[in-house]
Structure 1
């Protein structure tokens, strides 16, 4: 039996290290994730602490992925927070560095995506909706209500676009999750 072709997705965002495999039809084959630890009494993490934890977590998560019967054909990675020239956070360099290294060693293409777009695609994927050619997204996560205009574009080398942009952002797990508000929204 031939190995199932898949895309490896990596994301090292502000509070979670994630790795996943998705087949070429958009079906999730497996995922591993680990929340970053915030010290008791603290309200967040410095970028240096995020980088340290991602550096320790990512190899463990990759080792835990079941690769039996799977042939990885490409790697997708969150390379930066937003699709803007000045968008940068050191936490994303861990995933990007791992993706580039694995891509070089395995002879695989590495596709860079933004964390913001991956949230958008994961939301569409989790409800089973196809992505329209062009739409407006309001992503509220850390950056209050930053609008992003997006267009669907397939990669010239593989023809892959959505949903392979988001194999590591899995919507259904968080579908009924609610974050308690600190202040009521007027």
Structure 2
């Protein structure tokens, strides 16, 4: 009998459901981007919630079909779900209600525990569980995504915010430029390919993103990027933007590493999945720091980390009553 742990995540970007077993093997994984109209820079929370509710039945059907096709019989031990963006007081977004309602229904039907985590918790776990970071009690994490650009100190599974942007996120900068250039939303994956395929080495007219300790502003370079978007080829503007983001991340890593005397660095979130940005960071810092980049599937929004957190929480508690948190 194979013990199974279900995870559900309903973020601003994706509907995700996953199942892992006792060994942490990914048994099933469903992830679908929410549909965004061409030219739009995202969805209203009410529209995103509607799409989650519309997609979740198909997502759950897909995951349970994969479980039925396993060679071994299975027993679902717990259901886990992201219910808030971050693990801090006042952190809330309506989109997570869709995932919670689905998780609660499964938990009640199967009479198994329901565990709640933050979306950020899931990103950190998805990034660390396949690496040696899983066994480490302390490291620095960077969460770079569509709505988040934060520096984090992870110590004994506690996440402490230690720095980040003072205005918009790297993901917002990327998506706003991409939409202005006629690309779909989110635009990061397509822009990454454009940057990788651009061999032009001309000098960039864009200003640097100045990092002051562990904080910085991004709106300045956003203004420059949008003002210059018609003055240079699209491919160059995109590449220059990615270069400046990568350089800012390198400065952040160096500053955080020195300040907290830490060499282990984890980078998660959709922006961290950029192969172009990764290549610059690795070239500059791989000899000085232990850099951990999850595979792209585990960088972007997913429910695998949430399922893994549920597996660990279930193992730590002796309470098998429904509704355990």
Please indicate, yes or no, whether the TM-score normalized by the shorter chain is above 0.5: yes
Residue 123 of structure 1 aligns to a residue whose secondary structure is helix
Aligned position for 2:149: 144
CA drift of 1:137 comes to: 2.0
Does structure 1 conserve the Cα–Cα contact (< 8 Å) formed by 2:137 and 2:154?
Answer: no
- For 1:107 and 1:84, the matched residues in 2 are separated by 28
Query: Which of 71, 88, 91 is the matching residue for 2:92?
Result: 88
CA drift of 1:52 comes to: 0.4
Long gaps (5+) in structure 2: 159-188, 196-237, 248-325
- For 1:146 and 1:48, the matched residues in 2 are separated by 29
Aligned position for 1:108: 112
Residues 146, 179 of structure 1: alpha-carbon distance in 2 compared, 3 angstrom cutoff: farther
TM-score normalised by structure 2 residue count: 0.46
CA drift of 1:24 comes to: 1.2
For each residue in 1:108-165, what CA deviation from the matched residue of structure 2 results, as whole angstroms up to 9, or x when unmatched? Answer: 1011111112111111124464242233322122222253545338xxxxxxxxxxxx
Structure with greater helix percent: 2
- The aligned length equals 161
Aligned position for 1:52: 50
Aligned position for 1:122: 126
Does structure 2 conserve the Cα–Cα contact (< 8 Å) formed by 1:121 and 1:131?
Answer: no
- For 2:52 and 2:6, the matched residues in 1 are separated by 17
Structure with greater strand percent: 1
Aligned position for 1:36: 34
Equivalent positions of 1:153-172 (< 5 A) are none
Aligned position for 1:174: none
Does structure 2 conserve the Cα–Cα contact (< 8 Å) formed by 1:139 and 1:148?
Answer: no
TM-score normalised by structure 1 residue count: 0.78
The answer to whether 1:13 aligns with 2:18 is no
- For 2:39 and 2:125, the matched residues in 1 are separated by 34
Q: CA RMSD of the aligned region, Å?
A: 2.2
- For 1:80 and 1:92, the matched residues in 2 are separated by 6
Does structure 2 conserve the Cα–Cα contact (< 8 Å) formed by 1:132 and 1:152?
Answer: no
Aligned position for 1:26: 24
Residues 60, 144 of structure 1: alpha-carbon distance in 2 compared, 3 angstrom cutoff: same
Aligned position for 2:218: none
